Structure 1
C-alpha cells in the first residue's frame, strides 16, 4: 500500500487519538511494527498554533518517516493554512479529521459533523489538497447516524478531490464507540473507489485484522483503542498477515522493559510533572488485565516524581516476573 510516495509497510496503522497518540506513543508503536502512526488531532485555528500543547503536538524531531499529522476544523481556507503550517513543521502526510464523534468537536461542526454537509466536505478537501505538495488523507465514519450512512458518497467526493487515501471507522457518529463496528459499508466503499481504503473499528487481534481485510478488501487496517496498553499488537498483526502464524505474547520482562522505556520517554518529552501525570493512564492500560490492577493504580497514581513512578513500576513487574505477588507499598 502506498500513500503518495510513501510505502506503508506493514499495512497496519496507528489511529489518531486525542490525548493518546503523542510523539512518545507514536515512536513506540512504530518501533513495535506500525507502518504509519498518525498524530493526535491538531487544531486548524491559528490562534492556538503557538500554545505549549500545539507546539508539542507539532514536534516531529527524530520521528521515523513518514510523519502523519491530523488536522481538524470547519473552514476550507483555515484548514488549508493549517496544512501548510504543519508541512512546514515536518508533516509528510496531512490527514483531515471528519471522524471524531466527540460532542465538543461536533458542536463546532468539525469532526464527523462535517459529513452532514457534503458540499462543504468537497470545498474543504479541494482547498487542502491544493494547498500542499504532500499527500492528503481523510478519516470518516459510516455517516451521521444509522439512517444517514453517506460514507460512500463522501468517498467519491474524496477521490474526485485528490485525496490520497481514505480511512473509514465502521460506526456512525451517533454510535460513538458503542455497539460493534460494521464493515459492509467499508466493503462498499472499497468496491467503488480507486484510492487506498483503510478499515478501522474494533480491530483488536491478528485474527480480526485478517478477517476485516478479507471482508472489506481494504488496503490496510487501522488500530486505535486496542493499542492502548498493548502497543505490540502492531507486530502481532503484521506477523500474522505475513505468515499466517501467531507470535507468542510478550513476556512479563519484555512488557516491563517496554513500559519503563515508554515512561522515560514521557518524562523527557513533557517534563517530570506533566510526564508523571500523563504516564498514569498508560500504566493503567498496561496493567488492566492483571488481577491486582486496582491496587497497582492506587499506588502508582500517588507517585509524584519520575523516580518514584519508575521504581514502583519496576518493582511491580519484577515481582510478576519472579512469580510472587507484588508488594505494592505506599508511594514515596
Structure 2
C-alpha cells in the first residue's frame, strides 16, 4: 500500500490524530508498539498563522516517528493554505486536512465536520492546499453532516479529482458524534467504487484485533485507523499486528507490564513537558490503563488527583505489588464505553 511515495507494509495500522492525546510522547509509544503511520494532534490554521506558541509546539517532529503527518483544520481558504505551508516547513511526510471533527464549537463555526455542510468550500480548500505544498495532502472526514446528507461517495470522487493522495473515512455522520456504531458498509462502498484509485483508510469502533482483521477482509480498506481505543492502551497495535500476521491472539499484558508501561509513559511526559503538564498529559491514560481491577476505586482517585511525580511512581509501585498475581482483563472498549470516553478533540487555545 502506498500514499504517494510513502510505502507501507500490507494491512497497515494508523494512529488517529486526537487533540490532547497524540502528542510527541504518545506517538513515540504507539510507534514502538507497531503503529505504521502517526499523526499530530490537530492544529488550528488560524492559531498557526498567528504563531500561538502551544500550536507551534505541535509541529515538533522526530525522525524516529516517520512516516508522520501534520493535521490542520480551519474554514478560511487563505488561512488553510498559509498554515499548510508553515506545516510543510516542519518536515512532515504528509499534510492531512481535518474535515471530520464533530465537536460543537468547531463544527458549528464551519470547520472540522462543519465543512460537510459546504462541500464546495471544502473542495476549494483542498485543491488550493494540494497546489500550495509539495508533500502529499490527505483528508479525514465523515459520511456526511447527518443521515439526510450522506455525501461521502460523491465527495470521495471529488476529493480524488482535486488531487488528494488518500482519504480517511470515519463511519459516522457529524450528528452522531460518537454515538451508535460506525457504518463500515458505507466505508466499504467507497473503497469498492471502481473509480476510486487512492487508498481508503477506515476508522471507527475498532477496539480489538479481530475487528481490525474483519475490516480489512470484509470491506477491503487499505489501512485501518485507530483512535480512542489506543488511549491508555497503545499496545493494541502490537495485538492487532500479531493477529494479522499469525491469526492468533496475544495474551493480555501482565500487571508488571502494565505498571512498567505507565511509569515509562509518565517519565517520558515529565521529561518532555515538566512535572505539572507531564502528569496532566498522563492522567487521561491512567483512567483507562487499569480498568477492570477489583476494588481499585480509591487507588485510582489518588492516582488521578496526585500532582506529585514521585507520589504517582510510588502509587504505581503499590498497584504492581498489590495486584501482582492478577492478570488484568483487556479494557472493555465496546461502543458504549467508547462513547463515554473523555472528549479527545477539544479545540485548542487560540
Query: TM over 0.5: same fold?
Result: yes
Short-chain TM bin: over 0.9
Question: What is the distance in 1 between the residues matched to 2:110 and 2:155?
Answer: 16
| Equivalent position of 1:75 in the other structure | 76
Describe how 1:177-188 pairs up with structure 2 within 5 A: 177-188=178-189
Q: Superposition pairs for residues 114-133 of structure 1, below 5 Å?
A: 114-133=115-134
8 Å Cα contact 1:97/1:140 also seen in 2: yes
Is the Cα–Cα contact under 8 Å of residues 115 and 154 in structure 1 kept in the other structure? no
Secondary structure class of the residue paired with 1:140: strand
CA contact (8 A) 2:47 2:55 kept: no
Picking from 232, 243, 248, the partner of 1:245 is: 248
Instruction: Compute the displacement of 1:48 (Å).
Output: 6.2
Q: TM-score, normalised by structure 1?
A: 0.93
- Name the counterpart of 1:262: 265
Q: Which deviates the most, 77-86 or 286-295?
A: 286-295
Secondary structure of residue in 1 paired with 2:272: helix
Is this contact kept in 2: 1:143–1:172, CA < 8 A? yes
Deviations 1:41-97 (A, max 9, x none): 101015665333213211113542112111000122211111110111122211100
Q: TM-score, normalised by structure 2?
A: 0.89
**Aligned residues of 1:67 and 1:90 also touching (Cα < 8 A):** no
Question: How big is the shift at 1:110?
Answer: 0.5
Report what 2:308 is aligned to.
Answer: 305
Which structure has more RCO (C-alpha within 8 Å, separation ≥ 6)? Answer: 2
Detail structure 1 runs of 4+ shifted over 4 Å in the superposition: 46-49
Instruction: State the secondary structure of the residue aligned to 2:323.
Output: helix
Structure 1's unaligned 5+ residue stretches are: 325-332
Q: Distance in 1 between matches of 2:146 and 2:89?
A: 37
Contact 2:255 2:326 in 1 (8 A): no
Q: Secondary structure at 1:34's aligned position in 2?
A: coil
Structure 2's unaligned 5+ residue stretches are 328-350
Q: Which residue of 2 aligns with 1:327?
A: none
Q: What pairs with 1:1-332 in structure 2 (closer than 5 Å)?
A: 1-9=1-9, 11-46=12-47, 50-192=51-193, 193-322=196-325
Contact 1:100 1:112 in 2 (8 A): yes
Distance 2:95 2:256 in 1: 37
Cα distance in 1 for residues equivalent to 2:136 and 2:274: 33
* 8 Å Cα contact 1:73-1:110 kept in structure 2: yes
Matched positions, count: 324
Using the TM superposition, name which of 124-133 and 275-284 deviates more: 275-284
Question: Given that residues 123 and 162 in structure 2 are in contact (C-alpha distance below 8 angstroms), is that contact kept between their aligned partners in structure 1?
Answer: yes
